[in-house]
Structure 1
Amino acid sequence: MLKIKIFLLLALFCISALSSQKAEIVTLTIVVNAPGSPPYLYYDLDSQSYQGVVVDFFSQLEKNEVLIAKFVDSNRGRSEKFIIDGKADMMLTSWSWLDTPEQLIFSEKISTHRSYLYSLSPYEPNFTFQTIKKMRVCAREGFIYPGLHSYFENNQLVRIDSSSQITMARMLQKGRCDYAIMNDQNAAAIFADQAYCQNTIYQSPVPNDTVDMLFAMRMGIRPIKTLINQQIKVFSESGELNASVRKHSSNLTFPSSLTCNQPNIDTESQSHNLGNN
Structure 2
Amino acid sequence: MALLVTACAPLAAPLAAPLAAQTPPAAPDPASVERGHATFTSACGFCHGSNAKGGEKGPDLLRSVLVLHDEGGESIGPVILHGRPDKGMPAFPFSAQQIKDIANWLHSSIAATKDRDSYKILNIVTGDPKAGEAYFNGAGHCTSCHSVTGDLKGIAAKYDAVTLQGKMLRPDFSWKEGNPPHQVIALSFTVTLPSGQSFTGEPMNLDDFNVALRDANGAYHSFARTKDGPRVEVNNRLQAHLDLLTRLSDADIHNLTAYLVTLK
Q: TM-score range by the shorter chain?
A: under 0.3
With structure 2 as the length reference, what TM-score do the two structures score? Answer: 0.20
Larger radius of gyration: 2
Higher relative contact order at CA 8 Å, sep ≥6: structure 1 or structure 2? Answer: 1
With structure 1 as the length reference, what TM-score do the two structures score? Answer: 0.19
Of Structure 1 and Structure 2, the greater strand share is in: 1
